[in-house]
Structure 1
Amino acid sequence: SFVAAVVALALTTGAYTSEILRAGLQAVPHGEVEAASALAMNNRDTLRFIVIPQGVRIAIPALLGFAILILQATALTFTIALPELLSRSYSIGSNTFRYLDVLLLAGLLYLIITLPAGWLTTWTERRMARHL
Structure 2
Amino acid sequence: MLQNLAAIGVPVIAAINGPATVHSEYALTADVILASESAYFQDFPHLTFGIVPGDGIQTVWTRAIGDYWARYFLYTQQSLSAQEAKQLGVVAEVLPPVVLLMERARTLAEQFLRIPQLTRSTTDQATFIK
* TM-score normalized with structure 2 length: 0.26
Specify the structure having the higher radius of gyration (Cα).
1
Higher helix share: 1
* TM-score normalized with structure 1 length: 0.26
Higher strand share: 2
